[in-house]
Amino acid sequence: MSDLNSPSSTALSEISRLVNEYEEKIKDGASDPEHFMSISEIEELWSKLNASTKVLYSDLTESLLKQIDQKALIDQKKENSKPEE
């Protein structure tokens, strides 16, 4: 099971929150036939959701890459690449 404080768990929680918020806004916008959401309003909501999740995925990727110990990988690669004597 993944750590609840891991970057992916945090991102998943935020994505879930954003999607739920998006769904609620669409449902609210479709609940009154006299004031139904326009296509442009729906597109605007979708655009905001899309932009928000892209930022979250970017932040998640950046966080995961920062956790990689590059020096250890490079040292290990050098050690494994040494010609045998």
Q: How far is CA 14 from CA 23, 26, 27, 28, 50, in A?
A: 14, 18, 20, 21, 13
**Considering only CA atoms, which of 16, 17, 41 is closest in space to residue 28?**
41
Are 18 and 49 contacting, i.e. CB atoms less than 8 angstroms apart?
A: yes
pLDDT digit string, tens, across residues 30-56: 888 888 899 999 999 999 999 999 999
pLDDT in tens, 49-61: 999 999 999 999 9
pTM exceeding the 0.75 threshold for the entire prediction: no
Q: Which residue has the tokens 């999740």?
A: 53
